[in-house]
Structure 1
Amino acid sequence: MTRQTKLIIPKKKAQNLTDVAYDAIKHMIIYNEIGAGEFLSENVLAQALNMSRTPVREALKILASENLVEIHNGIGIFVPNITTREVHELFEVRSALECAAVKSFLKNVTEEDLTEMEKSWIESKEKLEAGIEVSYEDLAGSDHKLHALILDKSDNLIMQDIMHSIRQRIQRIQALSISKFPYQSVTIQQHLDIIQAIREKNEEEVKRLLAEHILFAENNVLKDPDFHL
């Protein structure tokens, strides 16, 4: 790491040290606290997490399998850059999977699911309208939960497996999209519109809104002049 970073360790019961290290390092990568191209030191991470290098090393191996870090033997461990092609291809796959999952998702989603999702977006909207800052991490978290729900509540297990294999990379780009642009009110309303269409069981409208929202998020990332592709 090239700069001092505050580690945020999610609290979980019966969590082993590899899980602790994995969650903390993943959080920093997804929310760009460790930027693309940065070098990761096992020693620095272990000291910051107050643990030995072994669980840190194991956590980094898991993150490498998810393409969130790159391990180059004899050179070091780095956070990979995000390329234009990767953004486009991941969001193209994401749009196709989520839209394909809508039909069975609508049969399985409950009012409780929607109420819980809607609550966080309404709270964010009310804060914004009151002039209160809304954390981009909170928005990114709400965004991830809603989109994950669509696949998790579908009947297609293969689509779930495919999304699971790329979910962390997509989440990293989602967080980057939300953090970079002053379009919070737009993305909040987009999600509320999606939730309303889901509640009305309007399959075609849900698909249309999802596709538009995902394209909007992709364009947010690609238009950022500070985003090195």
Structure 2
Amino acid sequence: MAAGSTRKLVTTNLQEQVADGLRQMIINGELAPGDALSEVTLAETFGISRTPVREALKQLQTEGLVEVRSRVGTFVAAPSRREINELFEMKQLLEGAAARLMAARGDIPELAAMKANVADADAAVAAGETERYAELVHEFHEILIAGADNHKLATHYRILMNQLAYPRLVKTSLAQPGRPLDSEREHHRVLELIRAKDGVGAENLMRQHVQASHHAVMAGLDAVISSA
């Protein structure tokens, strides 16, 4: 392999490592919307040159996680209310379709995994373990997408979840009074319809579930704004 090709491969690998690291920090809330992202600081943090950092930031900009403001700097993207609403509308469509597709597949490993997830979630809600339940909510939706067995749907879903920084929004949703219990009941009903192979019913109920989560998120965001 030529020296130039080797250097390019190394730079690409470093770019992917930086992009993966920053993506997780944004999704998990370690980097908040509006936080400044300095190429110099990030290069020092990751112990690499600025070139792969710059390329990683471009990649994350394409994914909608990073915003570049001309002559100002680079920042963690802060979705507007309109963007959050639109992203949740797309989430309804994708997860509804996933529920319908999973219901059509019958007795698959993901169905057993979903049953176990719901059982664990029951225990977490009963014990008031909101953090644990938030993890199980994320797992439930991941199982649903895997159960659909549609790679194109999964790819678009992953991009959407990254743009929403969904783990952070789950916590906002579950902070609303009564939402954890309502959410778990909704998961139960979706599971029942998938087990019954009722694709249409599962799709409609999954879309209603996402809509309820959407409303809880927006209520939480409104509460933060009004108390500021």
Settle same-fold status: TM greater than 0.5: yes
Structure 1 outlier segments of 4+, above 6 Å:
none
* Residue in structure 2 matched with residue 214 of structure 1 by the alignment: 210
Checking the alignment, whether the CA contact within 8 Å between 2:117 and 2:140 is kept in structure 1 is no
TM-score by length of 2: 0.76
Q: 1:176 aligns with which of 139, 143, 168?
A: 168
Structure with the largest fraction of helix: 2
**Contact 1:105 1:154 survives alignment (8 Å):** no
Stretches of structure 2 that go unaligned for 5 or more consecutive residues are: 1-11
Secondary structure of 2:68 counterpart: strand
1:226 Cα deviation from its structure 2 partner: 1.4
Residue 194 of structure 2 aligns with which residue?
198
**Superposed, which structure 2 residues align to 1:35-184 within 5 Å?**
35-108=32-105, 110-132=107-129, 134-135=131-132, 138-139=135-136, 141-149=138-146, 152-154=148-150, 157=152, 162-163=156-157, 165-170=159-164, 172=165, 174-180=166-172, 181-182=175-176, 183-184=179-180
Secondary structure of the corresponding residue to residue 91 of structure 1: helix
What is the distance in 1 between the residues matched to 2:90 and 2:61?
21
Structure-1 separation of matches of 2:41 and 2:138: 27
**C-alpha displacement at 1:161, in angstroms?**
5.8
Q: Secondary structure at the match of 1:71?
A: strand
Contact 1:22 1:59 in 2 (8 A): yes
Q: Equivalent residue of 2:64, what SS?
A: coil
For residues 194 and 16 of structure 1, the distance between their equivalents in structure 2, rounded to whole angstroms, comes to 40
Identify the range of structure 1 (62-71 vs 116-125) with the bigger mean alpha-carbon deviation.
116-125
The change in CA–CA distance for 1:105 and 1:116 in structure 2 (over 3 A counts) is closer
Deviation at 1:92, TM superposition (A): 1.6
Structure with max Cα Rg: 2
* Structure 1: tracts of 5 or more residues without a match: 1-14
Decide whether the 8 Å contact of 2:99 with 2:206 is kept in 1.
no
Superimposed CA distance per residue, residues 167-209 of structure 1 (whole angstroms, 9 cap, x where no aligned partner): 4214x1x323321224333323322331222111112321222
Change (3 A) 1:208 1:37: same
Cα distance in 2 for partners of 1:127, 1:136 equals: 6
- In 2, Cα distance between equivalents of 1:39 and 1:114: 42
Report the 3-state secondary structure (helix = DSSP H, G, I; strand = E; otherwise coil) of the residue aligned with 1:77. strand
User: Which one-letter code corresponds to 1:196 in the other structure?
Assistant: E
Given the alignment, which residue of 3, 13, 16 partners 2:13?
16
1:185 and 1:91 map into 2 onto residues whose CA distance is 21
**Letter paired with 2:169:** S
Structure 2: how far apart are the matches of 1:148 and 1:84?
Answer: 25
SS of residue paired to 1:81: coil
Identity across matched positions, percent: 26
SS in 2 for 1:34: coil
Per-residue CA deviations over 1:70-105 (Å, capped at 9, x if unaligned) read 123432111122212112212222222333454443
| Contact in 2 for aligned 1:136/1:178 (Cα 8 Å) | no
The alpha-carbon deviation at position 113 of structure 1 amounts to 0.9
Structure 1's 71 and 198: CA in aligned 2 closer, same or farther, altered over 3 A?
Answer: same
What is the root-mean-square deviation in Å for CA atoms of aligned residues?
2.9
TM superposition score normalised by structure 1: 0.76
Distance 1:83 1:103 in 2: 30
